[in-house]
Chain A
Amino acid sequence: MSLDLDTVTKLAHLARLDLAAEEREHLVGELSKIMTFIEQLREVDTEGVAPMTSVAHMALPRRPDLVSDGNCRDKVLANAPDAQDGFYLVPKVVE
């Protein structure tokens, strides 16, 4: 499988990575090589095999639907690069 520059540019956008043109060009070759390696899996017959979604063979545990945590706004905001009046600050998103 070979990826083209448009695909890499689209992936970078989807992943919200602002990559320089030079890096995207380099990645075209590198990711193509990796995808070719990965495509060995096509040889494997997986007809009728259920996809494995978890290695833990157990039912998801349940607990009573009660508040067990909270009231820690300031702790949550303590690591924010920019916060004011108990809110995160971001660039203006609504005109």
Chain B
Amino acid sequence: MSALTQLTIAEARDRLRRRQIGAVELTEAHLRAMESARALNAFVTETPELALTRARAADHLLGRGEGGPLAGIPLGIKDLFCTEGVRTTAGSKILGNFVPPYESTVSAKLREAGAVMLGKTSLDEFAMGSSNMTAASGPVISPWRRRSNANVALVPGGSSGGSAAAVAARLAMGATGTDTGGSIRQPAAFCGIVGLKPTYGRCSRWGIVAFASSLDQAGPMTRTVQDAALLLTAMAGFDAKDSTSADLPVPDFAAALTGDIRGLKIGIPKEYRADGLSDEIARLWDDGKAMLQAAGAQPVEISLPHTSYALPTYYIVAPAECSSNLARYDGVRYGLRVEGKTLDQLYAKTRALGFGTEVRRRILIGTYVLSAGYYDAYYTKAQKVRALIAEDFRRAFETVDVILTPTAPTPAFALDEGEIDPLTMWLNDVFTVPASLAGLPGISLPTGLSADSLPLGLQLLGRPFDEETLLRVAGVLEKSADFKALPSGVEI
């Protein structure tokens, strides 16, 4: 394990600028780490040549005292972001040979900031899942192991599981993720890293393979809160090509990390302490509350009365949008094609073979809730409950500045847990889905270990477009929690 792969983005950036290290040297160290950790299956596609070309360009600019804010920083890009000339699969067989002729806005912004793409990280198929087990390229293995049995392979969470595993295992300094119902925050919690889902509209969705367009949002996955702020500053911004992109100035998010949260009100939603919350998670949450209180913030109990309806609402809205978005995979314009005698047969055979079980299931649910006779009873009803959930948060933020909750109800589970019922799997997102429905920013950071030495995360939620307060509080919580545990195989 090379010392170079242990650096944070902020540290590497400073050393690169001072020319104490070179971008090529830094990229090579990460490419070697990727090579030796292929057993994790974190990357769908590795792009070492492209990475070295970009690293050389970064060295050239840095040598002249130039280069963007992320010049020479090696990153993983979730394989849901279209990358020009580099295969983009969305974790699906149906896009297995798709090579985009264009670059997503977010990955283009990172490239312009000088970042070096190491490769495309794995994900649950079309970002639908919480385990990364549904990826067409096979499951990703978490670098973490249970203390009680180090032989059991664990899931990294999902859908951004490849990004989370790569960042935790020191294969990349940071990575992009996307979050529709928890797909950045839950894997970040499972892998002991920081994952930030910005406000809906903060980052452009253009060029990201669409799952549920009213929920999808890109964000950074890193090892520190400061690094998340640095990446977000580069990823965010208005884009005329995404009509829901917010036309707001992008602050220097890292400057928000003042360390001072005195007087801030921290909402503790009582509904999140639902029946069945484990003692371990309840204790983690209490500890987090105490840390923020010790730093001068004031915890306030709040109520978000419609919390328990968030999951059923999500599982109408997201599949409905998924069934519409995924209608485009027809075997004609791109991707897989299975021949049929008629055009209809070609569509139906292509889609049945190209989509995996979970994606097919969600397409069918979406088709059902949008079909004639059921639309109002399910889809319109869900949109109304969604409005109530958003209103719960709006009211809460009249009195509090941020909300503190657990990120996930359990630590990472085993890859071989047997067949998991879809409803049980969906419960992973019980704490992350409500904020997604309301479009609010959320961040997960590691604050403790489970009894079996697995990382556990706490989630902070903020007001729309107030990622700065969110990051400020997260920075303080990170410092107080002082999470130092490392996954197996990673030594300093």
Interface set of A (CB-CB < 8 Å, partner B): 3, 7-8, 11-19, 27, 30-31, 33-35, 37-42, 44, 46, 49-56, 58, 60-61, 63, 72, 75-76, 78-82, 88, 90-91, 93
Contacts and interface: CB of A to CB of B under 8 A. Distances in A.
B312 interface: yes
Nearest to A27: B364
Given A50-B384, A52-B386, A91 B247 contact: no
B306 A44 contact: yes
A15 B323 contact: yes
B380 interface: yes
Contacts of A90: 332, 343, 346
A56 B244 contact: yes
B384 A51 contact: yes
Chain B facing A: main interface SS: helix
Counting from the closest, the 9 A-B pairs by CB-CB distance are: A55-B439, A51-B383, A81-B337, A18-B348, A79-B334, A46-B384, A52-B387, A75-B101, A18-B352
Contacts of B340: 91
Interface stretch (B190-198, B355-363, B397-405): B355-363
B200 A56 contact: yes
B99 A91 contact: no
Contacts of B382: 41
Chain A facing B: main interface SS: loop
Contacts of B484: none
B221 interface: no
Contacts of A38: 312, 315-316, 369, 378
Nearest to B323: A15
B363 to A, nearest CB: 5
A20 B247 CA distance: 48
A51 B380 contact: yes
B368 interface: yes
A34 B315 contact: yes
A52 to B, nearest CB: 4
B214 A54 contact: yes
A38 B378 CA distance: 8
B214 A55 contact: yes
A74 B371 CA distance: 36
A46 B381 contact: yes
19 contacts: A11-B364, A16-B348, A30-B422, A31-B361, A31-B368, A34-B365, A34-B422, A38-B378, A41-B382, A41-B385, A44-B306, A46-B384, A46-B385, A52-B387, A54-B214, A55-B390, A61-B243, A79-B335, A91-B343
A18 B247 contact: no
Given A17-B352, A58-B246, A52 B368 contact: no
Nearest to B248: A58
Question: Which of B240, B312, B351, B390 has the largest count of A CB atoms less than 10 A from its CB?
Answer: B312
Contact of A41 (B99, B312, B331): B312
A12 B361 CA distance: 10
Nearest to B339: A91
Contacts of A50: 384, 387
Contacts of A35: 365, 368
A15 B384 contact: no
Contacts of A16: 330, 344, 347-348, 351
A40 B352 contact: no
A93 B348 contact: no
A15 B363 contact: yes
Contact of B438 (A40, A51, A55, A58): A55
B288 interface: no
A92 to B, nearest CB: 8
A90 B331 CA distance: 9
A75 to B, nearest CB: 4
Nearest to A81: B337
Given A44-B385, A52-B384, A34 B423 contact: yes
B355 to A, nearest CB: 7
Contacts of A46: 381, 384-385, 388
Contacts of B385: 41, 44, 46
B349 A51 contact: no
A53 B244 CA distance: 12
A4 B363 CA distance: 17
Given A16-B347, A17-B348, A93-B343, A52 B390 contact: yes
Given A46-B384, A56-B200, A81-B331, A11 B422 contact: no
A95 B87 CA distance: 38
B441 to A, nearest CB: 12
Contacts of B345: 18, 91
Question: Which of A16, A40, A50, A63 has the largest count of B CB atoms less than 10 A from its CB?
Answer: A16
Nearest to A7: B368
A55 B408 CA distance: 24
A40 B309 CA distance: 7
